[in-house]
Amino acid sequence: MIEFQDVTVVYNGRPVMDRVSFTAQFHEKIAILGASGSGKTTILKLIVGLEQPDSGRILIDGTDISSLTEAELRDIRMNFSIVFQEGALFDSLNVRDNVAFCLWERGKASEDVVESTVKDLLNRVGIEEAMYLMPDQLSGGMQRRVAIARSLAGCRPRMMLYDEPTSGLDPLTDDTIIDLINELSSGDPTKRTGLIIVTHDVSDAVKVAERFMYLKNGRIQFDGDLEALKSTRDAGLNKFIKDIL
């Protein structure tokens, strides 16, 4: 379980998160909505320990990760896979090596195993032909798909974290990525790989998530399911979700 307890994060004297508290199960499918700069990405970074809160606690399966060292965080991070906005592919490595990176870092897989795993994963996300291309030779949609393939290599995450996975994509590619995200988190609702998707695109959020949070001014203004989201009386949130009403 993921638990935020009164978490506050301050950047340059401005609170990006202000005493945020919530809990989430690993199998849940959650969308975090909010305008740019509302602290959505910060939540993902806090969950995997890439950033530390200025105050408050973050518990992963009961362990407070706020005070852990990088070495201790390694085990915690094995629970998650993260796909950053625009993919965050290593630009000095080709697609094959990007996907294989996790296999090399987290295990001692033989070259044969690496080769077949990478092929399988690229096949699964539908871009096997791009195996030896460099990231700058890929379109935005292909980069996201490689990033998703990489996030699945060498680990079985309990939860996927997506940071604006469809921003800047055309509607067709957008749908492909959403389908892929749904496929990876399908199955028994109590055992499946959960997800947290951070987005300002409400129409994408409703396609993948069952629980919705709305961040504004560093605080969670709304936390509920789709029905509750549609019937909210919050004026700011109503403007935000007008596309799905």
Partner 1 sequence: MTLQQLLAELQNFYVLSISSLLGIFRRSLKWRDVLEQMDYAGAGSFFIVFLVSLFIGMALSLQISTELAPLGLKMYTAKIVSISIIREIGPVAIALSYAGRVGSGMASELGSMILSHQVDMLRVYGADPMIRLVTPRVLSSLVMLPILTAIGDAVSLAGGYYITVAVSQQSGAFYWSQIGNELNFFNILSGLTKPFIFGYLIACISCTVGLSTRGGAQGLRRATTTAVVLSTIMIIVVDFLITQVLFFILGMQA
- Residues near partner 1 (CB under 8 A): 45, 48, 50, 70, 74, 77, 80, 82, 84-86, 88-91, 101-102, 105-106
**Nearest distance, CB of residue 98 and partner 1, angstroms:** 9
**Nearest distance, CB of residue 142 and partner 1, angstroms:** 16
**DSSP states along 70-134:** HHHHHHHHTTEEEE-TT----TTS-HHHHHHHHHHHH----HHHHHHHHHHHHHHTT-GGGTT--
Phi, psi of 68 (to 5 degrees): -80, 150
**Nearest distance, CB of residue 226 and partner 1, angstroms:** 30
Q: Using the minimum distance from each CB to partner 1, give the nearer residue, 35 or 228.
A: 35
Q: Using the minimum distance from each CB to partner 1, give the nearer residue, 77 or 211.
A: 77
Distance, in Å, from the CA atom of 95 to the CA atom of 40, rounded to the nearest integer, reads 28
Q: Using the minimum distance from each CB to partner 1, give the nearer residue, 84 or 212.
A: 84
Residue 129: is it exposed, middle or buried by C-beta count within 10 angstroms (0-12/13-18/19+)? exposed
Q: Using the minimum distance from each CB to partner 1, give the nearer residue, 20 or 48.
A: 48
**Nearest distance, CB of residue 150 and partner 1, angstroms:** 8
Q: Using the minimum distance from each CB to partner 1, give the nearer residue, 45 or 219.
A: 45
Q: How far is CA 156 from CA 88, 106, 108, 135, 159, in A?
A: 20, 12, 16, 24, 9
Distance, in Å, from the CA atom of 245 to the CA atom of 230, rounded to the nearest integer, reads 6
**Nearest distance, CB of residue 83 and partner 1, angstroms:** 10
Q: Using the minimum distance from each CB to partner 1, give the nearer residue, 26 or 84.
A: 84
CA dihedral sign of residues 93, 95, 88, 161: negative
**Nearest distance, CB of residue 153 and partner 1, angstroms:** 10
Q: Is residue 149 within 8 Å of residue 125, measured between CB atoms?
A: yes
Q: Is residue 102 within 8 Å of residue 153, measured between CB atoms?
A: yes
**Nearest distance, CB of residue 22 and partner 1, angstroms:** 22
Q: Using the minimum distance from each CB to partner 1, give the nearer residue, 13 or 171.
A: 13
Helix 171-184 crosses helix 140-152 at what angle (to 10 degrees)? Answer: 10
